[in-house]
Chain A
């Protein structure tokens, strides 16, 4: 309960700040961005996040699960090691490197976000399946469940909450990294933040920073609820 209170009050403050600034006439030498512009950049930001996340989920989850299957296990170390490396490299570097490789704009931004957001989901998908008590799978096999039934009825329900956590962590991180996309002409709320930074008008920076923070917190919260909802009742029991 207390968590929700902190969360909601934070969101209210952030949104309030944004509205307050947007309503101003002039701050120093600049005018704040208009509602229309705010909306546009928010949409663009959201679009980047959602697109990148979908790509990460569609590739990361199956890949993570794939390397738990017999026959593919040897690939687990290189694959996860690779994704790990992706996270050791600073986000700005990944975003910037896209420019000589792919140019500027939406596409290259998504590529960078994909690389950066992959690890949490890949690692969690792998761990989710791998960490299931082997006795459970053995019992299921011994009872005569087909491979498909075991995957569907046993492994998936047990793995889902952990995978969901990975998705949540990845999403929150990608919202943050997406702010950098503005540097490679992909727009988004980062554009507003940067405008404030470069023009030396802190309130404009805030006009971009506040909604971004709100988006990160808000999405994180929604995904956490989904995560709880996906946890089977039996696993929520405190033993």
Chain B
């Protein structure tokens, strides 16, 4: 859907920011432009919507050369989200999000509907946020609104320049997960710039690794990790690629979806019998709505009468969409070899064991090396 053909950018003073870059992004794919500072990734992205003029080469958007469309019209069809966000401070959240629809002359109620839908999509309660001003929002909220604004008129393509860059690491992970969830729903064609390899591996369907203006390797994340083309790629990827490989798999792909459950008010005697019968050493404790409360271990059964007396209620959980590296990290820090997987409402969806992670890891490594 987006095709770059030998694109070059040379500045008047002779600097070659982008040299002979060619690659293709298919419809519905998220392509990450990755590389160290100054490698030309942002310049490349900005040539797609002509914020930076191309020196030589061509860029095709949906089959049409992008210089043949009026540049403002081109941009209205492409969503644009940048690191500093650039929310209009004198407009409300709603007015910000509906900028492009308004430019296109959508009627008022259609715009309102769209704004509400987008706010829900990005996880912000419309009733609360519609009339707020950017000055009243936190950094993470601003970033979300920035994404919402980029999606305003439902463009088929999105360009995102380090959109989660200016956020603290905890919020960033959450935003990344949210964004992936959104992308699953809307399936846009996206070019995403970042310098963070973890982000690239986690988010990308394909990665375009650039250095000093040139495209070094354009491949799937797994191939980049396990079949680096040259020394630069190897160094950039880093020696811990096994751990990085964990970014490629999501919890839901290897979790057990119906773990053995028990309710908090059960007696330990009953539980002991059950464990003996089913041959397991632990159970997940839930409340009457199925929400996660803790774990009960066979070894602790003697210590109390009810499950609630002896359960380990360390609250470490993960979502089904999380990547294995996060899950492993949580496991390690909680000291358990199993992890409860919950949905947004904290209801238990499944569980993940350490053994399962190990198994998955060795499978990827084998797969990556033999492809």
Contact = CB atoms under 8 A, between A and B. Distances in A.
Per the CB under 8 Å rule, do A and B touch in the complex?
yes
B85 A135 contact: yes
B76 A136 contact: no
B75 A141 contact: yes
Contacts of B86: 133, 135-140
Contacts of B77: 144
Given A142-B75, A142-B159, A145-B72, A235 B90 contact: yes
A119 to B, nearest CB: 27
Given A137-B86, A145-B103, A234 B133 contact: yes
Nearest to A137: B86
Nearest to A139: B86
A143 B51 CA distance: 10
A136 B86 CA distance: 4
Residue of A133, A139, A233, A235 with most chain B CB atoms under a 10 A cut-off: A139
Interface residues of A, number: 24
A149 B51 contact: no
Contact of B91 (A133, A149, A234): A234
Contacts of B220: none
B129 interface: no
Report whether over half of chain A's contact residues are helix, strand or loop; otherwise say mixed.
helix
B61 to A, nearest CB: 13
A135 B143 CA distance: 13
B99 interface: yes
B292 to A, nearest CB: 37
A232 B92 CA distance: 11
Interface string A66-105: 0000000000000000000000000000000000000000
Contacts of A157: 90
B135 A136 contact: no
B225 interface: no
B179 interface: no
A136 B88 contact: yes
A131 to B, nearest CB: 12
Contact of B74 (A133, A144, A146, A239): A144
B134 interface: yes
Interface of A: 133, 135-146, 149, 154, 157-158, 232-235, 237-239
